[in-house]
A and B are shown apart, each in its own frame.
Chain A
Amino acid sequence: MARDRRSSAPTLALFAALLERPRAWQYGYELSQLTQLKSGTLYPILIRLTDRGLLESRWQPSAEPGRPPRHMYKLTAAGAVFARDEIHSAAGSPHRPLSGAPA
């Protein structure tokens, strides 16, 4: 996939969280807790990655009665390759921490 710039620190933190369990579906609040990203930062990134075909999403019916279904996310095959590539590139750069703190 062509890209014109490197991923931001919050995006890299999200990639790292998703790659820890690449086959598992994870929900938004869980990803927020893993990455320490606020929802206002997390959702625009999720939307952007989904638009680019790097992330797939699905609705999961809630196990608790009376609760609405949840939106779950995981990397696509292309997204996993891209995420690993971005994290490796960032690891080679001294100024690109993988923490969830906004850059």
Chain B
Amino acid sequence: MSSPRSPSRRMARLIARHAARSMPPQRVDWALAIQHEFEHLPHDAPALRWAFGCLLASYTLRMLPMHRKLSASSRWVLTLEMLVCLVPLTWLFGAVVIAVVRGMVPSAAGVLFASAALAGPVGLLAAVRTITLNQGTLGRITMVVLGVLAAWTFAAMTWQCLRNHTPIADWWRDFVLIALLPCLAIAHLSWIAFSREMPAPRSPAAT
């Protein structure tokens, strides 16, 4: 058993107390559970890791209700956000596909470019599903696919801008509209899906 007065233990205790205080008010019993459990940990290093984990859990539980359910107004805002962020990339995807079909672009280059723009239409479909399903969530496979597509879009479009020495004045179009905003939109969709998976706080539970 390590000393309860060691600097590491004191820091861990401060973090654990802060974690307990950061819990939503409906979770007061869980806040006490975390704090009391900490007092039984025998060694400093596990206690510090435990305290940091509790802090993460508290912050997560505190933030989740903010994102759990889309109100009517926030649904309209989300719709607008998704249109602004994902329509330009979707339009680019369509243009590339049409160019390939008409033989205006070599097939290999066209397919590669289309894959880098695929996050647009796929993200838009996921956004429609998120907006229309008030409490449902995107599946984990969907979220992973979206994440991979977004990462690929970001890498490919950034590389394209750097390779072509795109003038800085045109980056808002070639980078911000085509790479950055779609990735942010997909990150937001993933966060909404993640937050809907987590438990909702309820009235104080008798335990």
Interface residues of B in 19-61 (CB under 8 A from A): 27, 29-30, 32-37, 39-41, 49-50, 52-57, 60-61
For chain B, the bracket of interface size reads: 20 to 34
Given known A-B contacts A43-B34, A44-B61, A47-B30, A38 and B41 have beta carbons under 8 A apart: no
Interface residues of A in 4-52 (CB under 8 A from B): 4-5, 27-29, 32, 38-44, 46-48, 50-51
Residues of B within 8 A of A69 (CB): 36
Per the bound structure, the CA–CA distance linking A40 and B55 in Å amounts to 7
User: Measured between C-beta atoms, what is the minimum distance from B47 to chain A in Å?
Assistant: 10
For chain A, the bracket of interface size reads: 20 to 34
The answer to whether A43 and B57 touch across the interface, beta carbons within 8 angstroms, is: yes
Per the bound structure, the CA–CA distance linking A51 and B55 in Å amounts to 20
Residues of A within 8 A of B34 (CB): 28, 39, 43
Residues of A within 8 A of B35 (CB): 68
Binding site for A on B (CB under 8 A): 27, 29-30, 32-37, 39-41, 49-50, 52-57, 60-61, 136-137, 139, 198-200, 202, 205, 207
